[in-house]
Every structure is written in C-alpha cells, then in structure tokens.
Structure 1
Amino acid sequence: MIDLPGSGLPGSDASVHPDVQAALDGDGTPLGQRTRWAVKLLTAPAAPRDEDLSGNFVSVFLARFPQGFAATLQQWRELGPFTVTDYQPVAHKSWVTLEGPAGVRSTLSLTLDSTGLIRVLHLGPETVTPPVHGWDDLARALEQPGVTWSALVTREEGGVTRTLYAKDADRPMPNGSSYKLYLMRALAQAVAAGAVRWDDEVTVTPALRSLPTGDMQELPDGTRVAVRETAYKMIAMSDNTAADLIQDLLGRDAVERAVAEGGHSDPSLLRPFLTSHEVFEIGWGDPRLRARWATADENGRRCLLERIDGPMTVRGSDLGPTVHQLGLDWHMSAWDVTRVLGALAEDGVRDTSGIVDDILAAYPGVPVDSARWPRVVFKGGSCPGVMMFCWLLEDPDGVRCTLVLQQCADDQKLIGDGQFLRGMGGRVIASGLLDGTPR
C-alpha cells in the first residue's frame, strides 16, 4: 500500500555468480536496459549530470531531490568501485547486488512505472536471508522481539488440502494491500455477471486520487482508463488509486459481499470496507478523525466516511505512527488470505477470456522456476508497522500450494522495508518444502 524504497529483495545467500554480468548484459527487455543504465551510473568513470538523468526517471522521483539527484549518486559512487555479483529481474522490478571494497555488498533496487521510466531507484545494504531447509528455520528467522507474526503453508492435491506448516494462522492481522484480492474477486464476479466489461472505463477524479504505491494518482483529472488496465495496475503494481477506482465502480456493498463469499472468518472486521484514500485520510490526517474512528461502531464509521468524501488532504510525508491498532487497515488471518487466493484461482479457471489469470499472474513477487510452478499468484501488502506477502503456486499437474507470511508491530522500524520477509518467502518456495523434497 505504501512505497518502500528498496523493498522486495528476494532471498540471498551472499554467493557470487560468475555469469551474472553476462545475464545483465544480455537482458534485452526494457527492465534490463534500464537496470544496465542504472548500474552504469555507479560504475562509469564519470558521474552523470542532473540534466542527463531526466529522460530516464519519472518526474516525481527527481522532485524528491531538490538539490539534484546527481549529488546522491555521487555519495553512492563513493562506496565503490563495484562489481556486479547478482541480478534478479521480476516483471517490472529488479535487484542488483554490488560488491564494493573489502567485500561490502549493497543492493541496487529498481522499479519501472507503467510508462517504462524508473519510479524507484535505491541503494542500500544487502539483506541476507538465512537458508530454509525445514520449518524450524523459517520460525527462527521470523521470531523477532516486538514483532507479531503468522505463517501458513498449504498443499491442495486431489481435492484434499493439507497443512504443511501453520503458526497462529487463525489470528486476524493487518495486511495492507492484500485487501485488493477481495476487490479483484468482486470485479471478476461483476464481469462474469455481465454488470461490468473489461473495456469499460473509470475516471480519475480528485476524490478518488490516493497516494502511492502506483502511478495512477499522477494522471490528470478526468483521465479515463479501461477497467482491464486499472485492474492490472491494482494487482501487478499494487496501485492504490487503481484500487479506489475499482471500488468506486463496484460499490462498497459489492466488495463486502465478496469478503463474505471469499471465506473470511469474520467479515465484520472488514465492514465498512475501506479504500486506501480513507485509510490515509483518517490514519494520518486530522487527529480528531482517528479518535472518532477508534470509538465508533460500524454505523458510526460509515457516517464518518461520508464526511471525508472529498479530495485527500494527506501527503506521503505525513505518514508516521502506526494506526493498524485502531482498525485502520484490512484485518485477515492467514487462513482468510489462503481462502481468497483459492477463490481467485477458481475465478481464473472459470474466466474463458483468460484476462483474470493474466492479471493475477502478472507479477510473481520473487524469481520462480516457471517449469516447476507455471502458474503463480502473488500479492504483497504494507503500511506503517505492517508487512505481508502471499503466494498461490500451481504445478503442471494442477497441485496448488499457498504460502502466507504476515508481520505487524507497533514500531515501523521493527518491520523494515519488507526485503527480509519477501526474501524468506523466496527461500521457502525454492527450498522444496512445498512438495516434500527439501533441497
């Protein structure tokens, strides 16, 4: 739900791959081309000038550096000289591990926006995740002081679902952007019923504009976007404005029905079903709104939402203290997440157009062996003090596995930027534990 610089680094064991530079040099995709250019910013003999950068970045990125981004690049370059030791591209994101003097390793993370320009570029210390050979390894890695966590791993084969691992999987927890799974369910149902068509359009307005993640909030007022493109951005790029546009199209009632039909164990936790705009506005706007929300019942909260139905007053820089304790988030247990993932997978099977599956599988979250898992559904979620990642993976024989990892804390610093948790998800997927053959 929120932009986290550098977030999402897949698991690393700090090993050097000698063919990495060749893989980066040979990647002819737009992502590969932008990544090579970004690496050269740090490794070229001369530092670039600010006027040489604007054609590669979205304007809002460069606007974050009033003194010029070249000055920040120079600070990064002083940590070198660098050698590329790992390159991991996934859809519209990439991570490059760079080794500097004395073996110090950093990660350069890059995210493209829908226009192909760089939206996020961040250099930070490498996050190393421990190997996972058994479920005890996962538990030891996630057990951290001050952090509440849960995990659930299931395997469905022949109509029978088996629990491979569970830790507090029945406990509702804040989940950030995974709420968009319910929006996708409601949309798939509306399309199947003929109430909405994929080529219908939604319109960007001030009252529906949210904060990043995503880029639709930067579109001019009155811009019309196809439902299919909006849904793609909502899932693949976790675009908050896209999600709010879809919810406005469907109506809050329809989404709340999808929550109940999607198997949520306590749908009242998601009533009223909040938009990202509403969470931002109540959570970090007028403190009197937070106080009223915290003490109000469902009807009182619905009345409060009507009062803030207008353009957002909160900016990204206003986000600070955690607010999930006040119910300002979307609370789901790991089992709830698993059930909605399964329901969406079935929606994809029923959709003869293939559009639902195309949207769900657009971004796998981590590098995944496509021969082993040709179908992957992924969603992540974050908010101050909240982090979660979930996957549904299907093998060539139709066997489905789900993996849900959730964290929350009262202090955002204890959660971090998500690199570690997502990396642990990548570790589990690569471990062989999902099919009973640990590697």
Structure 2
Amino acid sequence: MLRLLRSEPIETVVFDENFRNAVPPARFRAIVQQVTEQHGQPLAISSIDARNANSAVLTVRYTRSIGTVNIDLETGSPHRISGLQLTGFEAIGDNIDEVVAAIDALPGRQGLLVQALDEPARPPIAALDPDGRFAIASAVKLYILAELDRSIQAGERQWSDVVELGPKSHPSGISQNWPDRSPVTLHTLATLMISISDNSATDTLIRVIGQDNLAAIVRAAGHHNPDDLRPLLMTRQASALKMPVHAHRREQYLNASPAERERLLAEFDSALTLDSLDSRILTHKPAFIDQLEWFASPADIVRLLDYLRVNASEESKTILAINPGIGPDAAEKWDYFGYKGGSEPGVLSFNFLLRSKTGENYALSVNWNNVELSVRESDLLTLTTRLVNLLAEQ
C-alpha cells in the first residue's frame, strides 16, 4: 500500500484486471500525485481494521493529514487489490486546541464554536470568535427547514403537500433542470435543500413559507441580530444582485432598512433573472460576501442547531442526517450525525448536530470567510474532520 501511495509503478502487479480497467495506472498515479501535493508524503499505515477476510479499512498517516482507505482483495489467490477508495482525510492534531489553532492560522477570518448541549451553562469545549458576524452561505437553509418543520407540526402544512417548483435558481442542485412548475412535495423540496443544497428547491420553499414566517423562526431560534436575515434572500436574488448589470439596484438595496429591502426585492424581482447571472463572477472570486449574503455568528448557528434538536420532528432530523458532509467513517463514530454546510468563493460554513454513542449531545459550527481570496474547502474540511473525531473520543 505504501509503495502504491508513493507512486511506485507496481499497479500491474498489485491491482486486478478489473480495477486496472476502471482506473488505468497512469490515472491512478495522477490521483496519488494530487493527494501527495495536498497532504504530503504517506509515512505509515497507522491501523488496519479488518471487516472480513478480504476487506479492511486502513488509516494512512501523511505528512500533514491522516487518510482513511477502504481496501478489497480478490477472494482467490493471488489476492490482488480489487477495490481501493480514499474516503476522507483529517488533519493531524493531538488535541482540540491544536486543531483550533490550525483553523485560526488560515488566511482570512475564522469563527467556530463547539458546545455540549446537555449542560447549557458549561463553558464551550472550543471557541474562536463565537459571536463574530460571518457569511454562512447555504447554512441559512437550516432556518428554512426549522420553519417548515414548525408549520407541519402545527398542522398548517403536511410533508405530502404538493406545490409548484419555482422560481428556478442556479445550481447547486438538480431541480433547476426539471420542467417549470413541476409538482413536488414539501418533503422532496426539504430533502433536496438539505442533502444536496438544491437552490431551486430552496427558493421554492422561501416563496411558499413567506418572509414573515421566516423572520419569526430566525428570532425564535435565537439569532442575535434577526435583521441580518430580513428579508431572507432567495439564492437567485442574492446572486443576481452581485452582478454588474444590477449595480444600481444593489446600491439601493444595501442602503435600505430591512422593511425597505423587502419592498425593493418585490420591485426588483422580475429583473433579477437567471439570464442576468455571470457564472464567472459566481465562481471566480469572492463577491460582496460581507454585504450580500446570509449572516450569522457561530453562536447563532449553535443555538439554531439546539433549537432543531429540541423542537424538530424526527422526519426533519432524518433529513438533516442524509448527507454527513465529511467522510462516512467519521460519521459512524456517532449515534446521530446531522449536517448542513455552506460554500461559495470566500465562504465556508460546516455545521453539525451530534449525539455520541453514550447519549451526549453537541453542536459544532466552523466558519471561514475571506473577502479577498477564494478559500480551499479541503483545507478546512481536513481540520474540521479532525475536530469532529477528537470530539467523538472525549
């Protein structure tokens, strides 16, 4: 394994024919090179967890990270490798304080909070600017889920209610490619919104729920400054307002009060079209992330996660646990693992609602903003994975 991960040309001997056909040796070495550039040289196999006679999970210690590898062998001699998958990485750090220090050293602004929820008066397990104002991107969708769940539990709606899809937004997601006004259930929209951060599903739910109800849930979930999320912009609206063609509208919107912003959005909406979006602006570098975004502090998000823990239905908690956001091996260390992230150029937000195997509840919010440069997701993800694993070991 170490020879393979160090790019020695032994693939034809070590891999079976089916694996070599699926991943030719040159392609495999290119992948190994990318991993090495990011995580350093592979130093040692730290552990081998045999699942049966022919498969195991390995941990590989690299210079800067610890990688998890699933390996499968042929059942018959010569037992060559028939499957090999790198499933995730975590940063090296012997304790939570070291990992937090590494997050703090990233370029830009960082904020995090790790809180045990069963003892509210207990000091945070870890904190870094927990009351700072951060752009959170798609993590705002947790507020939408919270209000949808509240309305269903109150009997105002049902998961099976069918609504028309729209307004359409840009990816991420898949529903932007569905027929206009497709009939979809609220359950489908919520699942798409949380599990794959589907923007068109999100904007549909914002339309169905309404700004007054969204403002109420933002307050109820303990946001320290609810006006930061009023109005709660649709994803299409937020992206369109960043475009040069809408510079005049953007200036009006940013200089307005929350009530005036709601009126302006209604006035501008027909002009904030998908065809006015320039994908180069959306994907190239940070654009107005300190002005046109969804804002919260790590402490706000931890309060929101705790609100969901206490008040949300089992159905919403199940939806929240569909996509763990990090490697499945890290998620398997927990009895419950809920996740919602957010990302755009210059913005990353990783948020977890966790229950340990022994029944303790935790919330974790990690945020990284950089108004000048795009942030690399893998840098924060390896550190956050290490943080989650260290928390599981407490």
Match of 1:210 in 2: 169
* 2:205 corresponds to which of 246, 251, 266: 246
Deviations 1:64-103 (A, max 9, x none): xxxxxxxxxxxx68847999999xxxxxxxxxx9x9xxx9
Match of 1:421 in 2: 380
Is the 2:249–2:268 Cα contact (8 Å) retained in structure 1? no
Match of 1:296 in 2: 256
Distance 1:130 1:83, change over 3 A: closer
Q: Report the CA distance between 1:405 and its aligned residue.
A: 0.8
Distance 1:276 1:40, change over 3 A: farther
1:163 maps onto 2:107 in alignment: no
Q: Report the CA distance between 1:293 and its aligned residue.
A: 2.3
Match of 2:293 in 1: 329
Match of 1:338 in 2: 302
Is the 1:211–1:316 Cα contact (8 Å) retained in structure 2? no
Aligned-residue CA RMSD (Å)? 3.5
Mapped partners of 1:355, 1:377: distance in 2: 12
What code does the residue aligned with 1:209 have?
Answer: K
Q: TM-score under structure 1 normalisation?
A: 0.68
Mapped partners of 1:80, 1:421: distance in 2: 20
What code does the residue aligned with 2:298 have?
Answer: A
Between the two proteins, the alignment pairs up a number of residues equal to 333
Mapped partners of 1:158, 1:150: distance in 2: 22
Matches within 5 A, 1:143-222: 143-144=104-105, 146-157=107-118, 161-205=122-166, 208-222=167-181
Mapped partners of 1:78, 1:346: distance in 2: 48
What code does the residue aligned with 1:288 have?
Answer: H
What code does the residue aligned with 2:280 have?
Answer: S
Farther off after superposition, 228-237 or 404-413:
404-413
* 2:364 corresponds to which of 403, 407, 426: 403
What code does the residue aligned with 2:351 have?
Answer: C
Is the 1:347–1:356 Cα contact (8 Å) retained in structure 2? no
Q: Report the CA distance between 1:159 and its aligned residue.
A: 6.2
| Consecutive unaligned residues in structure 1, runs of 5 or more | 1-13, 26-35, 46-75, 87-96, 108-125
Distance 1:294 1:162, change over 3 A: same
* 1:384 corresponds to which of 335, 342, 345: 345
SS in 2 for 1:404: strand
Match of 1:43 in 2: 24
Mapped partners of 1:241, 1:420: distance in 2: 29
Deviations 1:279-332 (A, max 9, x none): 011012522222222222223322221123234221433424533455211110
Is the 1:188–1:356 Cα contact (8 Å) retained in structure 2? yes
What code does the residue aligned with 2:97 have?
Answer: D
Mapped partners of 2:254, 2:324: distance in 1: 36
1:235 maps onto 2:197 in alignment: no
What code does the residue aligned with 2:360 have?
Answer: V
What code does the residue aligned with 2:353 have?
Answer: L
Q: Report the CA distance between 1:423 and its aligned residue.
A: 1.8
Mapped partners of 1:15, 1:332: distance in 2: 44
Is the 1:360–1:378 Cα contact (8 Å) retained in structure 2? yes
Mapped partners of 1:343, 1:15: distance in 2: 47
Q: Report the CA distance between 1:374 and its aligned residue.
A: 1.5
Task: Using the aligned pairs only, state the percent identity.
Answer: 24
Match of 1:362 in 2: 322
Mapped partners of 1:321, 1:82: distance in 2: 26
Mapped partners of 2:175, 2:307: distance in 1: 27
Distance 1:15 1:167, change over 3 A: farther
What code does the residue aligned with 2:217 have?
Answer: A
Mapped partners of 1:371, 1:397: distance in 2: 13
Q: TM-score under structure 2 normalisation?
A: 0.75
Deviations 1:190-239 (A, max 9, x none): 1011111111112123xx11111111111111211111011001001111
Q: Report the CA distance between 1:401 and its aligned residue.
A: 1.4
Answer 1 or 2: higher relative contact order, Cα 8 Å, separation at least 6: 1
Mapped partners of 1:321, 1:315: distance in 2: 12
Is the 2:192–2:201 Cα contact (8 Å) retained in structure 1? yes
Distance 1:148 1:82, change over 3 A: closer
